[in-house]
Amino acid sequence: MIEHRKENDYTVTSINGKLMGGPETAEFNDYISNLQNNGIVNLIFDLGGVRWINAAGIGALIAGIANLKNNNRTVKLANLSPKVKDVFNITRLSAVLEIYDSVEDAKK
């Protein structure tokens, strides 16, 4: 579900599937802990492969982002699918998170 790669000064993390509070949420939380332990500073979460996200998934994502930002990490979201973008707009998260149309835009 989670893959990452280094692109210039950023670690780009691609998340695929659903974020619904199941085993994928535990995997995401473990991944966030590993990022902290490895000293990664600039992150872009590529959400293009996330087909759906519910309240539990949003909670895990927001908790992870808050944890990273509280530890002086830069966190950006990119490439949201239309369904996920709608959820972020309805919940007004799009007003408080750095969201970009593409990974390339987020790297600028």
Per-residue pLDDT tens digits for 64-104:
999 999 999 999 999 999 999 999 999 999 999 999 999 99
CA 47 – CA 23 distance, rounded (Å): 18
Phi, psi for 102 (deg, rounded to 5): -145, 165
CB–CB of 105/78 below 8 Å?
Answer: yes
pLDDT at position 39, please? Answer: 85
* Per-residue pLDDT tens over the stretch 4-58: 999 999 999 999 999 998 898 899 999 999 988 888 899 999 999 999 999 999 9
Domain ranges of the chain: 2-107
CATH number of 2-107: 3.30.750.24
pLDDT at 105 over 90: yes
Token reading at 82: 């239309």
pLDDT at position 1, please? Answer: 82
